[in-house]
């Protein structure tokens, strides 16, 4: 019986280590590609790195203080080209349009970002969970870490906040020297 308890504790420790250390490692690294991993919420993860996964690569965690990984536009472009969805991505873009909030269900602040590649993304930031980016203006640069969902207009980034249920990778937005999560 003590052996089973020890094995159980070891499994829990490894699971927490993966969630808090490895799972945050999503889109940084030189081998930016698309792979699926057994991540929370069933989402795939885009990026390079190593680790266990279901038929793909677990990826390196974004360092909260580093700028978006070089090549992230290419990764998002590939996701768009291949019409992939539910992939955790990191990048940055310039605000080209501010939209009205979506007040259906959970409220979302919405705006359009243009990546350096020219691709546009709708950002849908849940303001029932995370703070609003008050004062956001056209021309501002916003970094993001969230889940990409394909659309024929370029795609949507959502899950740019923590998950109160603890079942999805936490995302964020960075703007004006602050992190919104």
Higher pLDDT, 90 or 41: 90
Q: pLDDT tens, 24-49? A: 333 333 222 333 232 334 444 444 33
Tokens of 25: 């490692």
Q: How crowded is residue 111: how many other Cβ atoms within 10 Å of its Cβ?
A: 22
Q: pLDDT tens, 109-167? A: 999 999 999 999 999 999 999 999 999 999 999 999 999 999 999 999 999 999 999 99
DSSP annotation of 172: E
Q: Which domains does the chain have, with CATH numbers?
A: 2-180 (2.40.50.140)
Strands 172-175 and 178-180: antiparallel
Q: Structure pTM?
A: 0.65
For residues 120 and 93, give the distance between their C-alpha atoms in angstroms, rounded to a whole number. 9
For residues 121 and 111, give the distance between their C-alpha atoms in angstroms, rounded to a whole number. 8
């Amino acid at each position: 019986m003590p052996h089973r308890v020890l094995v159980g504790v070891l499994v829990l420790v490894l699971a927490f280590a993966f969630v808090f250390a490895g799972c945050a490692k999503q889109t940084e690294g030189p081998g930016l590609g698309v792979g699926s991993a057994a991540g929370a919420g069933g989402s795939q993860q885009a990026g390079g790195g190593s680790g266990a996964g279901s038929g793909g690569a677990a990826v390196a965690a974004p360092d909260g203080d580093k700028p978006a990984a070089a090549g992230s536009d290419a990764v998002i472009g590939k996701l768009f080209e291949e019409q992939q969805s539910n992939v955790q991505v990191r990048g940055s873009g310039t605000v080209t349009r501010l939209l009205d909030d979506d007040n259906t269900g959970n409220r979302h602040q919405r705006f359009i970002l243009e990546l350096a590649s020219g691709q546009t993304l709708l950002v849908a930031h849940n303001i029932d969970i995370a703070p609003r980016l008050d004062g956001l203006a056209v021309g501002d640069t916003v970094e993001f870490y969230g889940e990409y969902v394909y659309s024929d207009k370029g795609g949507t980034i959502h899950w740019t906040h923590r998950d109160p249920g603890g079942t999805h990778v936490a995302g964020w937005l960075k703007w004006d020297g602050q992190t919104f999560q």
